[in-house]
């Protein structure tokens, strides 16, 4: 890992919070993600299962956590299983966690090798008073499961070997726990945002007519990694010219031309926690009047959205409020008229031509994090705020995005130090 050691108190408290949600006689199992193949003998970079990381801080492949809160032997109430190191493995792949190191990271005292799993798990299932088995699945509302996961294989194995136990989903419990961020988590997210700020400020000084989008991408990743980030929190969007209007433009292969804008949806991760920043900047270092007018409209919408967020805010009501505010901005920009609004169809409102995505999503260990979209925004939950106006007929779009934490009153802006005013961006781009 590149990041500094995370206090194990976070993971200890997270496990305690989970145990409080489990019924009497429960056992819960969390498996690491697979090390996914590419072609030939290649593999993708490993990314840990976020629920397992949330409960243990372990970022190593082939790991497993078993929690059995009511087991008679206290030492077996939480057990972390790891891949056993050996001389050949470490020659090829490098250092693997020792039991002592894993215990220090996770706060779990009982750490065993994977070879002991079946014996210990069987003992828990038949001798531990276990009646219900809580197993994990990826249940994000935007997910599309097309690859069988390690968790899915374990579910099939477990049901085949212990068919008379009662099986339950642990994903809803984990989503509810992860929704509200602990203070250490907020600190990690703040670090991801601060690293993102460093990358953005570097890019503001670098951009000029003629640079390639991929050169900007390289500037970001250099700054991110040198500050202990693994790199991008998600595939970077560096969209110049008309590509501003493509929400998930990922080619990053065009030349940035004088007079155009560059939409930069780029952010760092830190300690597996993510930032999600968007800024739109002028290639030449100065916005045209029209560009600045649109920019300031988007900024007003973003600030309005932040003002109405809080623990009494329901996401769907919030989205409607933001859309109504955006509607007035689009009218002032003469992109739509009051007549368009009056005659609009309920399933195709006039604003949708220029603002065609949601204003916010949850963020944390996942860029699109887990939680309950239908409930009010709880204190401690983390959200993006990202309105945009995309004018295809004029060849440019503008999106702005910050990350905020819901407080008892209003929000705390994790990106409050990142330049967002059009004049400040111009000043930085034109300073020596």
CATH number of the domain where residue 374 is located: 3.90.230.10
Q: What is the largest CA-CA distance in the chain?
A: 75
The structural domain count of the chain equals: 2
Same domain flag for 285 and 332: yes
Question: Is the Cα dihedral 104, 52, 192, 314 positive or negative?
Answer: negative
Where residue 41 sits, what CATH number does that domain have? 3.40.350.10
d(CA 99, CA 109): 9
Q: How high is the pLDDT of residue 18?
A: 98
Residues 157 and 34 in one domain: yes
User: Are residues 169 and 230 located together in one domain of the fold?
Assistant: no
Tell which of 118, 150, 178 closes a domain: 178
Which residue from 50, 415, 51 is spatially nearest to 267, judged by alpha carbons?
Answer: 415
Q: Are residues 141 and 210 in the same domain?
A: no
Closest by CA position to 178, among listed 309, 364, 331: 364
Which domain range does residue 191 map to?
Answer: 183-430
Q: 250 and 204 share a domain?
A: yes
Quick one: 95 and 169 in the same domain? yes
DSSP 20-49: HHSPTTEEEEEEPPP--B-STT-BPPP---
Q: Is residue 258 part of a domain?
A: yes
Q: Does one domain contain both 267 and 336?
A: yes
Same domain, 161 and 230: no
Contacts of 336 (CB under 8 A, 6+ apart): 327, 330, 350, 351, 353, 354
**Does the residue 1 lie in any domain?**
no
> Residue 134's closest CA among 17, 25, 11, 15?
25
- Specify if 55 maps to a domain: yes
Could you please report the per-residue DSSP string of 104-137? HHH--SEEEEGGGHHHHHHHHHHHS---EEEE--
Whether residue 262 sits in one domain with residue 316:
yes
Q: Are 15 and 54 in contact (CB under 8 A)?
A: no
- Do 132 and 281 belong to one domain? no
**C-alpha to C-alpha distance for 276 and 270, rounded to whole angstroms:** 12
pLDDT, mean of each 10-residue run, the chain (432 residues): 95 98 98 93 93 98 97 96 93 94 98 98 94 94 85 97 97 97 98 98 98 98 98 98 96 98 98 98 98 98 98 97 98 98 95 97 97 96 98 98 97 98 98 86
């Amino acid at each position: 890992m590149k990041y500094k050691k995370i206090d194990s108190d976070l993971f200890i408290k997270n496990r305690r919070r989970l145990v409080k949600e489990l019924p009497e006689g429960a056992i819960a199992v969390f498996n690491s993600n697979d090390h996914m193949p590419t072609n030939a003998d290649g593999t993708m970079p490993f990314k840990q299962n976020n629920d397992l990381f949330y409960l243990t801080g372990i970022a190593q492949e082939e790991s497993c956590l078993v929690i059995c809160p009511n087991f008679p032997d206290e030492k077996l109430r939480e057990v972390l299983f790891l891949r056993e190191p050996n001389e050949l493995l470490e020659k090829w792949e490098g250092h693997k966690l020792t039991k002592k190191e894993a215990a220090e990271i996770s706060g779990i005292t009982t750490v065993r090798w994977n070879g002991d799993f079946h014996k210990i798990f069987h003992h828990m299932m038949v001798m531990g008073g276990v009646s219900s088995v809580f197993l994990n699945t990826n249940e994000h509302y935007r997910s599309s499961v097309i690859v069988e996961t390690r968790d899915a294989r374990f579910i099939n194995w477990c049901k085949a070997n212990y068919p008379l136990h009662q099986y339950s989903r642990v994903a809803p419990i984990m989503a509810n726990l992860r929704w509200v961020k602990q203070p250490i988590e907020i600190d990690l997210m703040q670090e991801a945002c601060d690293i993102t700020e460093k990358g953005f400020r570097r890019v503001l000084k670098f951009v000029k007519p003629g640079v390639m989008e991929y050169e900007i991408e390289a500037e970001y990743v250099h700054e991110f990694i040198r500050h202990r980030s693994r790199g991008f929190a998600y595939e970077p969007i560096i969209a110049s010219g008309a590509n501003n209007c493509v929400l998930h433009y990922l080619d990053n292969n065009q030349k940035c031309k004088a007079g155009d804008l560059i939409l930069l949806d780029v952010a760092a991760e830190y300690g597996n926690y993510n930032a999600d920043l968007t800024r739109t900047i002028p290639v030449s270092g100065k916005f045209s009047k029209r560009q600045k007018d649109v920019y300031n409209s988007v900024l007003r919408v973003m600030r309005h959205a932040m003002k109405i967020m809080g623990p009494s805010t329901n996401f769907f009501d919030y989205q409607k409020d933001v859309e109504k505010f955006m509607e007035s901005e689009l009218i002032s920009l003469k992109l739509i008229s009051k007549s368009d609004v009056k005659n609009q169809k309920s399933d195709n409102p006039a604003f949708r031509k220029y603002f065609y995505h949601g204003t916010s999503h949850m963020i944390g260990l996942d860029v699109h994090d887990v939680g309950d979209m239908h409930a009010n925004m709880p204190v401690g939950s983390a959200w993006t705020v990202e309105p945009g106006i995309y004018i295809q007929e004029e060849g440019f779009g503008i999106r702005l995005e910050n990350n905020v934490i819901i407080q008892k009153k209003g929000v705390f802006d994790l990106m409050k130090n990142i330049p967002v005013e059009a004049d400040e961006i111009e000043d930085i781009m034109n300073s020596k």
